[in-house]
Structures are given as C-alpha cells and as structure tokens.
Amino acid sequence: MQRRSLVVVTNRLPFDESVAPEGAFDWQHSSGVLVSPRHAHLREAPVTWVGWSGHAGPPPELPDTRGLRVRAVPLSEEEIRYHYEGYANATLWPLYHDAVEHPTHHRRWWEAYQRVNRRFAARTAEVAAPGAVVWIQDYHLQLVPALLRELRPDLTVGFFLHIPFPPPELFMRLPRRAEILHGLLGADLVGFQRERSARNFRLAIADACGIEAGQGPVRVDGRQVRTGVFPVSVDTPAVAALAEAPEVRARAAQIREDLGRPRTVLLSVDRMDYTKGIEHRLKAYRELVADDVLTAPDTVFVQVTVPSRERVDHYERLRERVEREVGRINGEYGRVGAARVHYLSRPLDRVEVAALYRAADVLLVTPLRDGMNLVAKEFVAARTDGGGALLLSEFAGAAAELCDAYLVNPHDTAGMKRTLLAAVGADAAENRRRMAAMRAQVTGHDLHAWAELFLEALVPPAADLAAPRGAPLLATS
C-alpha cells in the first residue's frame, strides 16, 4: 500500500529567522522559552511544513533538509497587523480565553483573516501529494480546513486547537461565528485539549449553524466530522536529558549561589500575556512579603517573561503594569543587594531555562485561562531529581492531568497565598511524592504520544500513514 505523506500547517514556522544559513538549519525555538512548540523531530517519510516566517515580505526559500520540506507563506505588513495582531490576537485570542481582555472587532481584520486563510489553503493544496494527510494547527487558521477541502477533496484533513474553545455564550458574540464553524467543519477530525472545549464546540455548532451535534460525529453535507480530545504535552525525554546535562546542573547550582543561597527559590516563566495571571501572582507574593511571612533573604522570586505580541495594545499595557508592580515590590521591600523579585524580560536560551527549573523550589503557574500550559509540564519533565513543587492554576488545561500539583484559583488571593505557603512549608517527602506522580504522567503522555494519538485517530494505522512516532512535533504554550 502507498505511504501517505504528511503536511503540517501552522501560522508560524517552527524556527527563528536567524537559523537558516546555507541550509544548515537547526530547530531552534522561536520564542526562546524552552517549552515552545516548534520543535521538530523528524521521521523518515518526507514531511512538509507550511507556515509564515514571522516577518513581512517575500517568503524565505528554505532548503529541504533531513526529510523536511518547509514551504513559507508570505504575509504583508498590513496582513501582520490585521490578520495576526488584529483578528487572531486581538479578536479571537481574548474571546477564546474567557474574554479576560475585551475582544476587539473590525471588519477589515476579518477580511484579512479570510485572505490569509485562503493563501494558506492554496499553498497547502499546491504542495500536498495526492491523498496526503494534512494537520492544521490553531486559531489563526480556522477557515483553512473547509477552504482546503474545496480545493483538494482527496486530502485527509485534521485540525487541532491549542487554545480553549470558549463556551457558546462567549463564542456567539463573534460577528462571523458561523463562518468560523463552517471552516472548522471542513476537517475530518477536530481535536481539542480538553473535553469541555469539544463540548463547547458542539454546542456552538447547534446554536450558530443549527446543526445537531450530539456525542458522536457531526454530519455535514453528507460527511462525518469527528471531534476528539488530545491533551498536548512536552518532549519529556529531550527535556529530561537536557536537565541532566552537566552544564545545566552546574548552572542551576550557580544560580542559587548568585541569588544569595536562599532557602526557597520561587520561579515563574511565562510569555508576557494577560492570560497568564502574572499580576495576580505578583499581588499574592507582594502581600506575603508585606505580611513578613516570606522574608528576605530566605525567599527570592525569579520572574521570567518573554516579550510577546508587543504591538498589540493589551500586551503593551500589560507589560507596563507588570513592570510597575515589580518595581513597587522591589522598591518597597527590597534592599541593596537583595531584590525581592528578580525580573528578566527577554527570551532565555534552553540551558538557562532548564537550569532555572532545576534551581527552583516552587514553580508558580497561575493562568486565568490556558489551553494547556506546557511550562508546567516542562518543569515536571526537567525535575529528574524528583525535587520541586508545582503551584498550578485550576484554569490551565494541565490541571486536569497534573492533579498532584498544588492547585489554586488565581482570582482568590488569600487562597493562593495559603497554598503557596503550604507548598513552601511542605515536608520534602510530600513534595517528592507529588512530583513522582506528576512525572509518571508526563512520562506516559509526552509529545510523541500526543502526535501519535492524533494521527492515529485521523488516519487509523490500517490506512498506512507512515509510522507516526517521530512525526514532526509541535506544541504551544
């Protein structure tokens, strides 16, 4: 039987612009956060990756390497403004994350969204081999499944949403809600991080399109569209190997030394995003410092934020607020040589992030809403020493799997303070027991297993899709 090739379609290509001199491209993470997705493990069968380079203008010509063909989709400066920063990140992103910031609606953004989705569909149609399997990722490209089906009915099309699908009360506010749903329904399989997103999607189909969607497949135009739940994960063996590397261990020891050998190191690592609950955790920390419960120099807090979507208003304002709060905490409670918050606002390399994970006693991950949150899983994967505790928001998708974390509601400042103190004060055996249970989870369900599960659901093994283990892997945070 003929092997079927795979095409992966993402808004952003999985590497940095700096990374492709003379074909020697190395899979670097674009955002600099260790967790960031775009990390590819290549398999033997050729895989084609379609996506945008992250810059305006003509697409880079990238040489085929190691069985991977990269085909870039160009975006103009205006399309970056209207499609990426506008419709994707100022309309859909806030709306899908519980509208924690107010979603903005502009008709010209929607027009650009359609135009860019059409371009992605056309590029994919052009490069996909007959009968190929196409796996489209995330909210930037929700119209692509149906557009692609029109152009190439021979393809098998899967779609995976990395962010939450909102409850219908919110989704129904979207002026072009039915078009978005019809776009997604062009896929054979639509995957979500959690069951509640899959349920919200089915409810939205009934409300916005009048299509009855019970538990089973949805019938659309004589086809069946399946939905499924596939919680994304991290490349656990790769993260663990990195965390064990001598340079990471040495760096972790040095970090504790540089921080003044505190008893407790608290750590947070986030993309600078209002969904991450950065301000909520800083407030809880400030109150604990003010209450004199977390005293210097026994406890230090390291907050790493990676700048993100900086031209979008919500993000610019958030950064100002976060930096004001950090300044306030250090200004009011620090002293010379003893900052209360060590704040780094730039991408860090993988070794540094892994070393920070190893150096930390408690990682605080407190999003107000998050599809998954791979920083939490990556921290667990990095703790091959069995140490460390995880304070995790119940509103992160990861909370459904990492039940042994210290779970918090980030809106409940008193509860967050109490739980953080419990994590800091717990005896080592208790924290090791929790970490062991969480490590078992991320070991059993890593990024490879995620890709395998999705692709097997999309194309059952009998259909002879080339072995999915080692398929191009991507996960986002």
Catalytically active residues are: 162, 370
Q: Cα(91)–Cα(163) distance, rounded to whole angstroms?
A: 14
Asked whether position 476 contacts ligand G6P by CB under 6 A, the answer is yes
State which residue has the least CB distance to ligand G6P.
Answer: 476
Site for ligand G6P (CB under 6 A): which residue of 163, 185, 365, 398? 163
Which CB, 138 or 352, lies closer to ligand G6P? 138
12 lines the binding site for ligand G6P (CB under 6 A): yes
Closest to ligand G6P by CB, 233 vs 308, is: 308
Identify whether the C-beta of residue 90 lies closer than 8 Å to the C-beta of residue 104: yes
- Cα separation, 343 vs 305, whole angstroms: 8
Is residue 142 at the binding interface for ligand G6P, with CB under 6 A as the rule?
Answer: no
- Smallest separation, CB 164 to ligand G6P (Å): 10
For 244, half-sphere exposure in the C-beta direction (CA atoms, 13 angstrom radius) is 10
Residue 8 one-letter amino acid: V
Nearer residue to ligand G6P within complex by CB, 162 or 439? 162
Q: Could you tell me the smallest distance in angstroms from the CB atom of residue 156 to ligand G6P?
A: 22
Is residue 83 part of the contact set for ligand G6P (CB under 6 A)? Answer: no
Q: Convert residues 298-337 into a mask of x (bound to ligand G6P by CB under 6 A) and - (unbound).
A: ----------xx----------------------------
Q: Shortest approach of ligand G6P to residue 148 CB, angstroms?
A: 19
Q: Residue 308 Cβ, how far from ligand G6P at the closest point, in Å?
A: 6
DSSP 338: B
- Which residues are within 8 A (CB) of 444 and not within 5 positions of it... i.e. 6 or more apart? none
Out of 16, 138, 361, 446, name the contact with ligand G6P by CB under 6 A.
138
The least distance separating ligand G6P from the CB of residue 163, rounded to whole angstroms, comes to 5
Cα–Cα separations (whole angstroms), residue 409 to 2, 251, 303, 474: 51, 33, 19, 29
Helix 177-184, helix 144-151: angle, nearest 10: 50
Q: How many CB atoms sit inside 10 A of residue 254's CB? A: 12
Distance CA 396, CA 407 (A): 10
Determine, following the binding rule CB under 6 A, whether residue 97 of this chain makes contact with ligand G6P: no
Torsion sign (Cα): 163, 164, 168, 169: negative
Residue 378 structure tokens = 């990556």
The number of residues that bind ligand G6P (CB under 6 A) is 9
One residue of 162, 182, 342, 448 binding ligand G6P per CB under 6 A: 162
Place of tokens 């959690």: 194
Any contact of residue 378 with ligand G6P (CB under 6 A)?
no
In the beta sheet, which residues pair with residue 365? 392
DSSP one-letter string for 194-216? SHHHHHHHHHHIIIII-----SS
Nearer to ligand G6P, 16 or 401 (CB): 16
208 interacts with ligand G6P by CB under 6 A: no
Question: Of how many residues is the chain composed?
Answer: 477
Q: Does 197 interact with ligand G6P (rule: CB under 6 A)?
A: no
Output the smallest distance, CB 339 to ligand G6P, in A: 28
Minimum CB–partner distance for residue 295 and ligand G6P (Å): 36
Nearer to ligand G6P, 162 or 342 (CB): 162
CB of 83 to ligand G6P, least distance (A): 12
Upstream peptide bond of 145 is cis (omega within 30 degrees of 0): no
Strand 218-220 to 223-229 pairing? antiparallel
Cα distance between residue 11 and residue 452, in whole Å: 21
Least Å distance, CB 258 to ligand G6P, is: 29
Q: 31 or 200: whose CB is closer to ligand G6P?
A: 31
Count of beta carbons in the 10 Å neighbourhood of residue 323: 14
DSSP string, 239-283: HHHHHHSHHHHHHHHHHHHHTT--SEEEEEEEES-GGG-HHHHHH
Residue 477 within binding range of ligand G6P, rule CB under 6 A? yes
Q: Provide the 3-class DSSP secondary structure of residue 426.
A: coil
The structure tokens listed for 198 are 């899959």
Under rule CB under 6 A, residue 373 binds ligand G6P: no
User: 12 or 280, CB closer to ligand G6P?
Assistant: 12
Contact mark string toward ligand G6P, 24..63, x via CB under 6 A: -------x--------------------------------
Contact present, 472 and 49 (Cβ < 8 Å) = yes
Nearer CB in complex with ligand G6P: 190/255: 190
Which DSSP state fits 298? T
Say how far apart CA 397 and CA 395 lie, in whole Å: 6
Residue nearer to ligand G6P on the CB measure, 141 or 146: 141
CA pair distance 243, 353, nearest whole angstrom: 9
Binding site for ligand G6P (CB under 6 A): 12, 31, 138, 162-163, 308-309, 476-477
